């Protein structure tokens, strides 16, 4: 892990800014905005006003208990998808320069393992704990492992074989989940207690699982998550191609996204959409929505050249992993109260206090990222 002082070429396999796609940086920043506190604005509005629309929106910024889908479920797979989109530009450019595949593979693997380690630190802190008290699965770990395998497939497999891998991972996971019996439960049971993914995680993952009997970032359910990064790789490779106009690319991405969304909803009837299990239908749905968002951002920013609004999100997108980690080690809430607490106390309105507090928190985080941006300091893994 290094801290870069130059915004030049992204590190190998790093989901970092791609200079030719401002839309990718902007979309990544838009995605991370909700993680760094954007959703709290609507939760605060719903809590303090009782407005029906605010309650509906706030509900979308929560996860369903088990089966189903809400907008908040898209944030994680969208980030993985964007890591894939950047791969043909970062890894592909090194291949074009004649860099040995073995060297690239080593960097891909080392980055994946570093993200796993950072995820363990994020979960458990820097202080040593007993193994049985630690949680090993993590968001960063899934990003690292899924990205690593997807990028190795991109590195060593021909495009046609990559598509076979994509279909095989989704169909294979479905077959295993539905056909392999779990002791004491039988086959095809998809409850938290009885599904195959949770059972395997309980057998092989050290430490404890997030929900004791299940972990939403478990090892086995990482298999279909590779598909999100692979789909991003397909989209990035498509955007690299010559011979099509920007309008044509945006329209075809939009159409592909709609098809994947439809396929995901259809598959839902036999393999329910479930983020906890990262079911194949969930992968297709989130992959399709990711394609839809990329097509819109790409058309507005890179094709039509409407860029002035992007700066706010680009500053976030340039240091996306850093701001995710920083929240565990920097008390942004304290800084927000220090700088804005007096101003908020001038009003007796609960709405001002709650919503203003959420906005102040985001403002402090963004200012922190802006300082790093101006100094050209970007976290590279």
Instruction: List C-alpha distances in Å: 365 to 5, 40, 208, 371.
Output: 20, 14, 31, 10
CA–CA gap between residue 215 and residue 213 (Å, rounded): 7
State whether residue 85 is helix, strand or coil. helix
CA–CA gap between residue 16 and residue 29 (Å, rounded): 11
Counting residues of the chain whose pLDDT is more than 90, the rounded percentage is 72
pLDDT tens digits, one per residue of 221-248: 999 999 999 999 999 999 998 888 999 9
- Identify the residue whose tokens are 């189903």: 68
pLDDT category at 14 given cuts 50, 70, 90 is: very low
Residue 360 has pLDDT above 90, yes or no: yes
Residue 328 has pLDDT above 90, yes or no: no
Joined together, the tokens standing for residue 191 give 């409850």
Looking at the structure of the chain, the number of domains it has is 1
Supply the pLDDT for residue 128.
Answer: 67
Supply the pLDDT for residue 123.
Answer: 87
pLDDT tens digits, one per residue of 114-132: 999 999 998 887 776 788 8
Helix axis angle for 159-179 and 139-156, nearest 10°, is 130
pLDDT tens digits, one per residue of 66-100: 999 999 999 999 999 999 999 999 998 889 888 99
Cβ count near 28 (within 10 Å): 28
Residue 227's nearest CA partner among 83, 45, 343 is 83
CA–CA gap between residue 298 and residue 304 (Å, rounded): 9
CA–CA gap between residue 280 and residue 301 (Å, rounded): 31
Q: Are 279 and 224 in contact (CB under 8 A)?
A: yes
Q: What is the mean pLDDT of residues 352-368?
A: 91
Secondary structure element (H or E) that encloses residue 380, with its range: strand 378-380
Q: Which domain, by its residues, includes 167?
A: 2-380
Residue 12 has pLDDT above 60, yes or no: no
Counting residues of the chain whose pLDDT is more than 70, the rounded percentage is 94
Q: What is the mean pLDDT of the chain?
A: 90
State whether residue 318 is helix, strand or coil. coil
pLDDT tens digits, one per residue of 40-52: 999 999 999 889 9
Cβ count near 24 (within 10 Å): 29
pLDDT category at 300 given cuts 50, 70, 90 is: very high
Joined together, the tokens standing for residue 278 give 């990262």
Q: Are 244 and 299 in contact (CB under 8 A)?
A: no
Residue 63 has pLDDT above 60, yes or no: yes
């Amino acid at each position: 892990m290094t801290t870069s002082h130059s915004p030049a070429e992204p590190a190998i396999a790093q989901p970092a800014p791609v200079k030719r796609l401002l839309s990718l940086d902007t979309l990544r920043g838009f995605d991370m905005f909700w993680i760094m506190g954007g959703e709290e604005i609507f939760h605060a509005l719903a809590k303090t006003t009782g407005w029906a629309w605010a309650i509906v929106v706030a509900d979308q910024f929560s996860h369903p208990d088990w089966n189903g889908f809400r907008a908040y479920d898209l944030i994680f797979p969208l980030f993985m998808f964007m890591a894939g989109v950047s791969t043909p530009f970062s890894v592909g450019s090194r291949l074009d320069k004649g860099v040995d595949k073995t060297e690239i593979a080593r960097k891909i693997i080392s980055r994946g393992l570093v993200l796993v380690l950072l995820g363990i630190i994020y979960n458990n802190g820097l202080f040593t704990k007993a193994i049985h008290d630690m949680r090993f699965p993590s968001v960063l770990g899934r990003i690292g492992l899924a990205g690593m395998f997807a990028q190795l497939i991109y590195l060593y497999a021909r495009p046609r074989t990559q598509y076979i891998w994509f279909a095989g991972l989704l169909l294979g996971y479905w077959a295993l989940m539905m056909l392999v019996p779990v002791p004491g439960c039988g086959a095809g049971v998809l409850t938290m207690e009885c599904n195959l993914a949770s059972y395997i995680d309980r057998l092989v993952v050290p430490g404890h699982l997030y929900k004791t009997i299940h972990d939403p970032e478990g090892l086995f359910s990482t298999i279909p998550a590779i598909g999100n990064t692979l789909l991003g790789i397909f989209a990035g490779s498509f955007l690299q191609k010559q011979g099509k106009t920007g309008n044509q690319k945006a329209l075809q991405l939009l159409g592909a996204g709609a098809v994947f969304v439809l396929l995901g909803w259809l598959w839902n009837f036999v393999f329910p959409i479930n983020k906890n299990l990262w079911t194949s239908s969930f992968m297709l749905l989130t992959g399709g929505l990711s394609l839809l968002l990329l097509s819109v951002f790409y058309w507005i920013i890179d094709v039509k050249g409407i860029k002035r609004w992007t700066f706010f999100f680009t500053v976030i997108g340039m240091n996306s992993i850093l701001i995710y980690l920083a929240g565990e080690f920097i008390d942004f809430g304290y800084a927000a109260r220090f700088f804005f607490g007096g101003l908020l106390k001038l009003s007796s309105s609960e709405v001002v206090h709650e919503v203003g507090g959420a906005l102040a928190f985001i403002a402090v985080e963004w200012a922190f990222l802006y300082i790093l941006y101006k100094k050209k300091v970007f976290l590279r893994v």
